[in-house]
Structure 1
């Protein structure tokens, strides 16, 4: 229960306690009302600001870019005509999807006809006439996308398998770090265009089978991706491992943890943010390298699609190339978002 103290006048007489209480109550009533109004407006303002940053601003930026593109594109003349605008590029995207659907229908008809011929041969008692051929139609744009995704997945996986153990070893051992650091600094800036002929000759000499498990061009592109994309993961893993708090490692010694237990319980959880940052960078580098390698080596994939359209030189080629560039950018963005989600998931489930 609150106690109300009476103030005194200048002549020493006591001020009525009622007036003092009234002033106190008035103050306590008015202040919460203002706080409540401010607190009610604050969440709404925060939500509006968040929506503005995450949705409104990006949409306005994209619309401004598309408008600028549409206005300036007709002003640029090339050997294949005026630069296509967003509408023309989108139309070619729809056309490429239609070509994929037509190719799937042709493939389905091919296998249906083959099954019918084989059934007739068997019913006629001529099993030697049965043939099982694979459809050998030209790859469509979507087929090239899936080929590039499989290639970058193999190259990135190989790069991770090589880079993470080496980075952990370099971060835990200053001697090993000093031994491999010069090699890293020399190999890291080498262009994929320099690696490609070396890898091509080595793989061509290694894979001599007529029907290998993996196509030779697929292996060449994946190895070029690996050689160019492993360095960010290796360096970030080494930095993250070396920056682990020494007190944490001392706890492992006190608990008499073995080498593998210390690695799994202490080193890896503490290094995960650095490792995934390096993996995100490596995946981005690998995706860029892959397109260049496919263009130069004419290996199946999006890079070959872009180069073939450039060599084609039709009135639609430039719009198709620009659509492929947009798709390449969206795929790279999607791969980065996937790596961010994996990082959040793994970090949440592996706490020290």
Structure 2
């Protein structure tokens, strides 16, 4: 019997230890299970922080619209009182309605033309000759600034890299850059117009002359920020880094792609953002004078029209121009973040 009780006591001790260990494990696990309860507090904190960051811009916009609505009726122009926010919004809706009506008329035109060709009553297909709507001209302006910005980047980045790597080349082109940089687009336009008109002599060119003229003017006025920032970024590369490239006997292309471009990338994108902003501003003036279909021509045509709705339409176009410029800058920032995500230098 004594032996049996002696054998039973260790079993009880093991059970006691097991229960104690289980309690300790439960005690240790319990905080981990309670931890997620704090998550809603963090979410609320993020929402509050986001709301505070959004509150000031919203209040500023609301205050501006309220001030505009109060002061606009008190300003008299040759076309009547200055339109308020409601009148401008109504003209924006009207312009959208004109775009929809134009698309319906265009679809009907092509449907009728296809039916005539199928029936044999018409032998040649014609393009729709309706006047461009506001949204069509927005698209034309975006295409123009895209071409001008692409040409500016194509010229500015290589020249900036060469200027940053070679002090002699930098000294050679610096006077030209300082002279050309402040030239107004209005001064470039007559020169570019004559050169393009003499170059493009085809009766049916691939790109319209007015479109090419506007794009080249945008290029000539917007390439300087990219060129200067690229040169500054390239010249500020750590010399020890370039010495490492020499020790590793990197070729010119490898040095550019592995050392120079990654190091100067923030400067290049800063210049490109500035160039895109300058190009978008220059475009409106170029389109006005070159009569290239776009936002600039739309504003000029409405000014020449002189109807009671023209001023509200011009103001709506100004708001659209500002919003597009803001969006283009945001797009460049996202592109910079995407390209720089794996930058190791």
TM-score by length of 1: 0.85
The aligned runs of 1:75-86 (5 Å cut-off) are 75-86=74-85
Deviation at 1:195, TM superposition (A): 0.1
Match of 1:102 in 2: 101
Deviation at 1:43, TM superposition (A): 6.1
Match of 2:19 in 1: none
The aligned runs of 1:1-352 (5 Å cut-off) are 47=46, 50-121=49-120, 129-352=122-345
Deviation at 1:131, TM superposition (A): 1.6
| In 2: Cα distance, 1:260 partner to 1:99 partner | 53
| In 2: Cα distance, 1:246 partner to 1:46 partner | 46
Deviation at 1:65, TM superposition (A): 0.5
Unaligned stretches of 5+ residues in structure 1: 1-38, 123-128
> Structure 2 vs 1, CA of residues 267 and 61 (structure 1 numbering), >3 Å: closer, same or farther?
same
| In 1: Cα distance, 2:342 partner to 2:316 partner | 39
> Residue 65 of structure 2 aligns to a residue in which SS?
helix
| In 2: Cα distance, 1:133 partner to 1:343 partner | 44
| In 2: Cα distance, 1:45 partner to 1:121 partner | 70
Unaligned stretches of 5+ residues in structure 2: 1-37
| In 2: Cα distance, 1:101 partner to 1:52 partner | 37
Deviation at 1:130, TM superposition (A): 1.3
Deviation at 1:332, TM superposition (A): 0.3
Are the aligned partners of 2:213 and 2:290 in contact in 1 as well (CA < 8 Å)?
no
- Cα deviation, 1:36-84, whole Å, max 9, x if unaligned, reads xxx99x9689646632453111111100110000011001000101100
Aligned length: 309
TM-score by length of 2: 0.86
Deviation at 1:349, TM superposition (A): 2.5
> Structure 2 vs 1, CA of residues 238 and 119 (structure 1 numbering), >3 Å: closer, same or farther?
same
Deviation at 1:254, TM superposition (A): 1.2
> Structure 2 vs 1, CA of residues 130 and 48 (structure 1 numbering), >3 Å: closer, same or farther?
closer
- Cα deviation, 1:269-289, whole Å, max 9, x if unaligned, reads 000000000000000000000
